[in-house]
A and B are shown apart, each in its own frame.
Chain A
Amino acid sequence: MISDRVKSNLKDTFVDSLLPKVGLVLLIAILVMALFAPLLATHDPTRTGHFHETGAPYPPMGYSYETQVAQDGEFGEVSVESNSTHVLGTNNIGQDVYSRFLYGARVSVIVGLSSTLLAMLIGVPIGLVAGYYGGRVDDGLMRVADTMLAFPALVLALALIGVFGESPVHVPDPIVMAGFADGMPETIPIPGTVTIVGALVIWVWFARVARGEALSLRNEEYVKAAQSFGTGNAQILRQHILPNSLTPIIVLATIQVAVIILLEASLAYLGFSGTTLSWGYEIERGQDVLRTRPWVSIVPGIGIMLAVISVNLLGDWLRDALDPNIDQSKRGA
């Protein structure tokens, strides 16, 4: 399904240019952060500082963060401890910014991958069937696709979350369960609704690409030959159409991971993610202390940017190397 020419093309474009290498290095860094977050973290990311341990759910009326800095001694939250152990400082409620950064990578990676996978599982079969059979099935799908695409992605996601609510799924952390990282949270909250909603928002793109591929492949000689031998349609779809349409689907999937990471961050920023352990949510939280503790917002934002850049760079590389229709002179554009 991937020819030698394509393989050598992939290799050549990777060796020749700098950007895919940067993308790969960044991606590996983010995956390592996400995988080994409990081992790399210095603090429990959910443990709040002194201020919260007084039992106050949130700062009382009239409490201002300006005074907090002035009276840091009284609130005793950061100044002493932060210089020694909190590498990147603490946020408004005394949680360790560095540890939350690592765990934020985890949530982004899990949501990005699972949502894209789900969208593929929904979109690709529908698109292949529509393109292969054509006719009414195809017309129906295209109208549904048109309708879905009439909604801006974020707006549709917001509408869906408005319906289904936002519920985090608490996934047990294998590293902590195995006893390698004591003191770290045993479960991580994954924004479950966001994962499903993300897939519902982007599946149409997979369906459209798969349809286009099936539409052109169904007229190929080998498909015609298989049909004349009496091979069933399901088998033709599985054995001939699917493997041959995978390349553009993989390229699309790479780019969609970046789309989902940005979507999750945006929803979390707007307060609709359902989990507090997310880069987007952390940026929103830092907004209140932007004047006094800008790093609370700066750090997770850099995380989102690096994750998206890495995926985009690799996506560009795959697209240029795998798609023979694209003029090589445009590479890197």
Chain B
Amino acid sequence: MSIAKFLLRRFLQGIFVIWGVITIMFGLRAVSPGDPASLMAGEGATAEIIEQVRVQEGLDQPLYLQYIEYLQGMMVGDFGFSWQARREVSAIVIGRIPATVELAVAATVVAIAIAIPLGVISGTRRNQPADYSATMFSLLGISTPNFWLGLMLILVFAVWFGIPYPSVGTSSLPLSGVSVPYPSSVGLGMVDLPTGRRDVSFGVAVSALVFEQSLSEMGTWLRHITLPAITLGTYFTALITRLTRSGMIDELGKPYVTSVEAKGLPSVLIRYKHVLRNTLIPIITVLGLQIGTLMGGAVITETVFNWPGLGLRLIDALHDRDWPVMQGIVIFIAIAFIIINIIVDALYASLDPQVSDE
């Protein structure tokens, strides 16, 4: 089977799964307790207004008609209308994408930059102190809840070391037993908790650098993103370190390594060029599979650092019981996950032609 055929099959499977995702989310909304029309009309709405909303939004229609309409909307990118924010859900989602992508990419960069050298060192110096520390580090990294890690980083760097950090007032209101982080603008700040809130987007920072030759925006961006990126990236750093280590151990035992060693190539070149390259294929696969964990982690990291991405918006929508926004974000994340996995498969297929023969 050719690569093109393999990808076509993956693509069709992807379409099917996306349909499944949309159907599950619609089904969840259908079984959810609570009347959508009265939620939509807002608190204190009269019965007449609620009925009006119901008719207007087609909520009086039979469920299967609503479902067809929902699917039709999805096909043209219409994710519905937010009950709370009174905006198109698609606009809300699009507005939040850049922050989440920035965070996810930064975390991946941090993870790869630390993990690959660490894994190589650990794999080539087995059972030496360096190997033990790397193994210990990856065990801790996999077992630490990232929201706690984020708080501890804030505690150590901002509170104890007093490193000047952008400070955002957060406060918690006991809201039916649930605490909701509010931005300082609400005016209820109880304590100034330094967070990595994103004031400057990457795009703004780059354009300031290019057009005004100003480094300060870039500095601000870096200062904001460092702790969140480390928080989100630690799990992956630990995971990739493990994978690189065991991959290196496997590869180093193979005959071709002995033969290039016999040729007298420097060991650094052998390790990083020949051996590491062969180790990368399984790493890419696992990373692709773990994108979901990355997205779940982003929800938490964004909440800890008040980072205005999709995850923080999802939590807000859940607290507000704003179903369309919640559905829109969950479906968007799932679709992004599916697409990334197809891309990973394509990469994998082009790296290793045997895959497409399966």
B246 at the interface (CB under 8 A from A): yes
Kindly state whether residue B268 has any CB partner on chain A within 8 Å. no
The contact of A301 among B18, B152, B299, by CB within 8 Å, is B152
Asked if B13 and A146 make an inter-chain contact with CB atoms under 8 angstroms apart, the answer reads yes
The total of Cβ contacts below 8 Å across the A-B interface reads 187
B246 proximity list for chain A (CB < 8 A): 330, 333
Binds A, one of B26-34, B60-68, B257-265, B275-283: B26-34
- Report chain A residues within 8 Å CB of B28: 159-160, 162-163
Q: Is A152 in contact with chain B by the CB < 8 A criterion?
A: yes
Given A158-B314, A159-B326, is A151 in contact with B334 using a C-beta cutoff of 8 Å?
yes
Within 8 A of A (CB), among B143-168: 143-145, 147-148, 151-152, 154-155, 159
Please tell me which one of the listed residues B143, B180, B293, B333 contacts residue A309 in the complex, with CB atoms under 8 A apart. Answer: B143
A290 at the A/B interface (Cβ < 8 Å)?
Answer: yes
- Whether A284 sits at the interface, judged by CB under 8 Å, is yes
A183 within 8 A of B: no
Assess A152 versus B24: contact at CB under 8 Å? Given A287-B151, A290-B193.
Answer: no
* Least distance between A28 CB and chain B CB atoms (Å): 17
Interface residues of A in 160-197 (CB under 8 A from B): 160-163, 165
**Contact segment of B85-93, B170-178, B344-352:** B170-178
Known contacts A61-B188, A266-B300, A283-B148: A163-B31 contact under CB 8 Å: yes
Stretch in A220-228, A229-237, A291-299 touching the partner: A291-299
A30 interface contact, C-beta 8 A: no
Cβ-defined contact, A332 with B135, below 8 A: yes
| Complex Cα spacing A249 to B184, Å | 48
In the bound complex, CA of A153 to CA of B297 (Å): 10
Q: Are B293 and A301 in contact (CB under 8 A)?
A: no
B315 within 8 A of A: yes
Q: Does A262 contact B (CB under 8 A)?
A: yes
Q: Does A308 interact with chain B (Cβ within 8 Å)? A: yes
CA distance A318 to B173 in the complex (A): 45
Q: Is the CB of B299 within 8 A of A312?
A: no
A330 touches B249 (CB 8 A): yes
Residue of B nearest to A301 (CB): B148
Bound CA–CA A243/B147 (angstroms): 40
**B31 to chain A: closest residue by CB:** A163
A258 vs B142: C-alpha distance when bound (angstroms): 10
Residues in A whose Cβ lies below 8 Å from that of B245: 333
Contacts of B295 in A (CB 8 A): 152, 155
Decide if B193 touches A287 in the complex (CB within 8 Å). yes
Residue B337 at the chain A interface, CB threshold 8 Å? yes
Q: Decide if B308 is an interface residue (CB 8 Å cutoff).
A: no
Known: A58-B174, A143-B16, A266-B147. A284 touches B179 (CB 8 A): yes
Residues of B within 8 A of A283 (CB): 145, 147-148, 151
Instruction: Say whether B152 contacts A262, CB under 8 Å.
Output: no
Q: How far is the CA of A312 from the CA of B25 in the complex (A)?
A: 33
Given contacts A64-B190, A159-B25, A288-B190, contact A150 B20 (CB under 8 A): yes
Instruction: A156 to B20: give the CA distance in the assembly, Å.
Output: 13
What residues of chain B lie closer than 8 Å to A285, measured between beta carbons? 172, 179
A80 vs chain B, min Cβ distance (A): 23
Shortest distance in angstroms between B8's beta carbon and chain A's nearest beta carbon?
17
Q: Is B292 an interface residue (CB 8 A)?
A: yes
Query: Chain A contact residues: over half helix, strand or loop, or mixed?
Result: helix
Q: How far is the CA of A161 from the CA of B330 in the complex (A)?
A: 13
Chain A hits for B57, CB < 8 A: none
CB <8 Å contact, B296 and A271? no
Closest B residue to A263 by CB, please name it: B296
Q: Say whether B250 faces chain A, with CB atoms less than 8 Å apart.
A: yes
* B140 beta carbon closer than 8 Å to chain A: yes
Let me know if A15 is at the binding interface, CB within 8 A: no
Complex Cα–Cα for A63 and B192 (A): 13
| B300 & A154 in contact (Cβ 8 Å cutoff) | yes
Q: Please state if A305 and B292 are interface contacts (CB–CB under 8 Å).
A: no
Smallest CB–CB gap between A204 and chain B, Å?
12
On whether A162 and B300 interact (CB within 8 A), knowing A64-B191, A309-B139, A312-B143, the answer reads no
Which residues on the B side are within 8 Å of A288 (C-beta)? 170-172, 190-191, 193
Query: Is residue A325 within 8 Å, beta carbon to beta carbon, of the partner chain?
Result: no
User: A202 contacts the other chain (Cβ, under 8 Å)?
Assistant: no
B325-343 vs A: 1/0 string, CB under 8 Å? 0110010011001100000
**B179 near A150 (CB under 8 angstroms)?**
no
A280 at the interface (CB under 8 A from B): yes
Contact with A along B227-241 (1 / 0, CB 8 A): 000000000000000
Besides A162-B28, A288-B172, 5 more A-B contacts (Cβ < 8 Å) are: A61-B188, A163-B31, A276-B177, A297-B148, A309-B140
List residues of chain A with CB under 8 Å of any chain B CB.
19, 57-59, 61, 63-66, 143-144, 146-147, 149-156, 158-163, 165, 258, 262, 265-266, 269-272, 274, 276, 280, 283-292, 294, 297-298, 301, 304-305, 308-309, 312-313, 327, 329-330, 332-333
